[in-house]
């Protein structure tokens, strides 16, 4: 049995080798493909998908006769050719941003309101004063003109008076004190409320419209000498700042900084704005001859 089986296997091997050597099939024998051809059937269209072999893609440059020969024998280096040629790698340029087109709005465009920010104040809007104290007018004034700030102004004013007298000015000068400065500011507010033709009219005593208050606060000459020499900043530092004119380091508000910074700090400390604010007319365009924008 074993010998017969071996002999049968040898015959099968020899038969398969003869077919590979180019021996044709016997005449009159039709293969399954030929039978389907005569029956007007396409094995790739009418057959089941699971039974049809998957054909490799054929490049466009190959001739049609080559593509109709069917699947070729596979080799170790067989690979599917791309259907399109691979373009050479070209470095892509960075995308350029197109400027947004600007155009006038028409009456047909819908109106869009800007978003309204929510008002969430850190403190209760309004004056930030202690309810346990009863403030007088002079106490409220000193919140913005503190004694420390006034002391600095008095020192700088005394320096300015000494500088003027050194330059040849002749008048009687007594050093300005904090109390004198408050009296001087009181007279300025009084004159703003009561208008007379000239400053000297506030000290006139021989007229039926004379006012007695200014002479009771200080003399006319004392008021005038304070007005001539009142200086908020240090005169020595003014010279250094003036030497920087024409450069970004020059500060045009340098002479106002001692009082301006004090008032700014006091406004932020003793008052919190409400939700709605009014813009003063000083914020509008002006033709006044001044180096500071209004």
* pLDDT tens string 30-40: 556 666 666 66
Q: How many domains does the chain have?
A: 1
Q: Answer yes or no: are the C-beta atoms of 158 and 176 closer than 8 Å.
A: yes
> Is the pLDDT confidence value at 28 over 60?
no
Q: Is residue 209 part of a domain?
A: yes
Neighbours of 153 (CB within 10 A): 20
Residue 281 confidence (pLDDT) above 70: no
262 inside domain: yes
Which residue in 140, 133, 115 sits closest to 267, CA to CA?
140
CA atoms of 285 and 294, how far apart (whole Å) = 7
- Whether 230 is covered by a domain: the verdict is yes
Q: Give the torsion sign (CA, 226, 231, 234, 237).
A: negative
Q: Do 25 and 31 meet the contact criterion of CB atoms below 8 Å apart?
A: yes
Task: Say what the pLDDT of residue 289 is.
Answer: 66
In a domain, 194, yes or no: yes
pLDDT of residue 293: 52
Q: What span, in angstroms and rounded, lies between the C-alpha atoms of 28 and 156?
A: 130
In the chain, the percentage of residues whose pLDDT exceeds 90 is 44
Tokens 């600095």 belong to residue: 152
**Span 129-185, pLDDT tens digits:** 988 889 999 999 999 999 999 999 999 999 999 999 998 888 899 999 999 999 999
**Distance in angstroms (rounded) separating the CA atoms of residues 256 and 177:** 19
| 215 found inside a domain | yes
Q: Hunting for tokens 């604010």 — which residue is that?
A: 277
Residue 74 lies in a domain: no
If pLDDT is split at 50, 70 and 90, which confidence band does 104 have? confident
pLDDT of residue 282: 59
Question: Which 8-state DSSP code applies to residue 126?
Answer: E
Instruction: Pick 281 or 143 by higher pLDDT.
Output: 143
| Res 43: pLDDT | 54
Q: What is the pLDDT of residues 231-258, one digit of tens each?
A: 999 999 999 999 999 999 999 999 999 9
The percent of the chain in helix, strand and coil, each rounded to the nearest 5, is: 45, 0, 55
Q: Write out pLDDT tens, residues 64-103.
A: 444 444 554 454 444 444 555 555 555 566 666 666 567 8
Whether 293 is in a domain gets the answer no
| pLDDT score for 39 | 63
- Is 238 inside a domain boundary? yes
Higher pLDDT, 208 or 251: 251
What tokens were used for 9? 């296997």
| pLDDT exceeds 80 at position 285 | no
List the domain range (segments joined by +) for residue 167. 137-283
């Amino acid at each position: 049995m074993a010998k017969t089986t071996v002999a049968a296997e040898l015959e099968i091997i020899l038969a398969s080798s003869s077919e590979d050597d180019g021996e044709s099939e016997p005449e009159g024998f039709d293969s399954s493909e030929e039978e389907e051809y005569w029956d007007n059937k396409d094995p790739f269209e009418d057959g089941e998908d699971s039974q049809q072999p998957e054909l490799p893609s054929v490049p466009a440059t190959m001739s049609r006769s080559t593509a109709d020969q069917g699947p070729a024998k596979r080799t170790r280096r067989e690979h599917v050719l791309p259907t399109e040629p691979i373009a050479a790698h070209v470095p892509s340029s960075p995308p350029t941003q197109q400027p947004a087109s600007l155009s006038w709005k028409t009456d047909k465009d819908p109106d869009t309101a800007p978003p309204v920010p929510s008002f969430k104040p850190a403190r209760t809007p309004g004056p930030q004063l202690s309810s346990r104290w009863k403030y007088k007018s002079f106490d409220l004034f000193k919140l913005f003109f503190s004694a420390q700030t006034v002391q600095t102004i008095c020192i700088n004013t005394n320096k300015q008076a000494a500088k003027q007298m050194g330059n040849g000015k002749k008048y009687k000068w007594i050093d300005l004190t904090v109390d004198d400065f408050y009296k001087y500011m009181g007279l300025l507010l009084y004159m703003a409320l009561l208008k007379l033709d000239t400053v000297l009219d506030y000290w006139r005593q021989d007229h039926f419209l004379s006012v007695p208050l200014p002479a009771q606060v200080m003399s006319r000459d004392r008021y005038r000498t304070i007005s001539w020499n009142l200086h908020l900043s240090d005169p020595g530092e003014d010279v250094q700042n003036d030497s920087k004119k024409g450069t970004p380091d020059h500060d045009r508000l340098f002479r106002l900084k001692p009082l301006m910074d004090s008032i700014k700090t006091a406004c932020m400390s003793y008052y919190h704005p409400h939700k709605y604010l009014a813009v003063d007319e000083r914020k509008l365009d002006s033709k006044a001859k001044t180096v500071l924008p209004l």
